[in-house]
Amino acid sequence: DAKTTQPNSMESNEEEPVHLPCNHSTISGTDYIHWYRQLPSQGPEYVIHGLTSNVNNRMASLAIAEDRKSSTLILHRATLRDAAVYYCFSWSNFGNEKLTFGTGTRLTIIP
Amino acid sequence: SAVISQKPSRDICQRGTSLTIQCQVDSQVTMMFWYRQQPGQSLTLIATANQGSEATYESGFVIDKFPISRPNLTFSTLTVSNMSPEDSSIYLCSARTGMNTEAFFGQGTRLTVV
């Protein structure tokens, strides 16, 4: 998977929106952008993925830049349960690529 | 989707012994992986568990230390051999069900070597 860069940490107030950025400037044309998160003492869990268009699901929204070199994970109304480490990846959906974790962004939610 | 169960969830082991961790998926998956996560760190991929053949290890990990089995499409084991305190970590199993799918993770096995 192509290299991604994320801020090491972010803070947000509870019940406010959170925008988590990710740069993936070397992404190839067919690679999808995936986001996962790891809650304390749990294994990582899938959050969302997309290719070119913005995506929404019950957990979050994914905004993808027009040039696809960056994306933003949006939590519309952060709760304490959203405190986690968030990882973004650019990953082929058609190969058997392993998932290689970077350092991710540790999100702290302030009550 | 796939649900992954890992056993044991935690263990405390004596140095020099071995521990086998089991990973069971509730559906057939194409890819299975094993990760290690040391305290406060990100996940490091140990190997890809290949069904019916030898696992593919990442740099820094060897079969003698981390033998892996994958006898079928739903089950894999990771053995941590001849353990030392440096092996104290969380070990996680992951699986992918095929094209256009996300990866799923077990809850991890917290290993402490004393």
Tokens 């070119």, residue located: A52
pLDDT reading at A1 higher than 60: no
The rounded distance, in Å, linking the Cα atoms of A36 and B20 is 27
Minimal CA separation from B64 to chain A, in Å:
22
Mean pLDDT, range B52-75, rounded to an integer: 95
Maximum mean pLDDT: which of B47-51, B65-69, B101-105: B65-69
Percentage of chain B surpassing pLDDT 70? 98
Residue A104 to residue B102, Cβ atoms within 8 A: no
> What are phi and psi for residue A104, nearest 5 degrees?
70, 180
Identify each DSSP E strand in B26-72 by its residue range: 31-37, 43-49, 56-57, 68-69
Residue A99 to residue B103, Cβ atoms within 8 A: yes
- What radius of gyration, in Å, describes the C-alpha atoms of chain B? 13
The rounded distance, in Å, linking the Cα atoms of B42 and A98 is 15
DSSP A2: B
* pLDDT tens for each residue of A20-66: 999 998 888 888 899 999 999 999 999 999 999 899 999 999 999 99
The rounded distance, in Å, linking the Cα atoms of B40 and A40 is 10
The rounded distance, in Å, linking the Cα atoms of A22 and A64 is 10
Chain A environment of B105 (Cβ under 8 Å): 43-45
The rounded distance, in Å, linking the Cα atoms of B89 and B22 is 16
Q: Which residue has the higher pLDDT, B110 or B31?
A: B110
A76 to chain B, any CB pair closer than 8 A? The answer is no
Percentage of chain A surpassing pLDDT 90? 72
Least confident of A1-5, A11-15, B9-13, B69-73: A1-5
A49 to chain B, any CB pair closer than 8 A? The answer is yes
Q: In the numeric block, which tokens belong to residue A99? A: 């998932």
The rounded distance, in Å, linking the Cα atoms of B107 and B62 is 24
Mean pLDDT, range B33-42, rounded to an integer: 94
Mean pLDDT, range A88-108, rounded to an integer: 81
